[in-house]
Amino acid sequence: MSSITANELKTKGVSIVESALRQDGQAVITVRGERKYVVLDFSTYNKLREYELDIALQEARNDIANGNYKTESVDEHMKRVLD
Does the predicted TM-score (pTM) go above 0.85? no
pLDDT of residue 25: 87
Can you list the domains of the chain with their CATH numbers? 2-40 (3.40.1620.10)
C-alpha–C-alpha distance, residues 4 and 33, integer Å:
10
pLDDT tens, 2-52? 899 999 999 999 999 999 999 888 999 999 999 999 999 999 999 999 999
C-alpha–C-alpha distance, residues 63 and 44, integer Å:
29
What is the full DSSP assignment across 37-81?
EEEE-HHHHHHHHHHHHHHHHHHHHHHHHTT------HHHHHHHH
pLDDT band of residue 81 (cuts 50, 70, 90) is very high
C-alpha–C-alpha distance, residues 81 and 83, integer Å:
6
pLDDT of residue 24: 82
Host H or E run for residue 31: strand 26-31
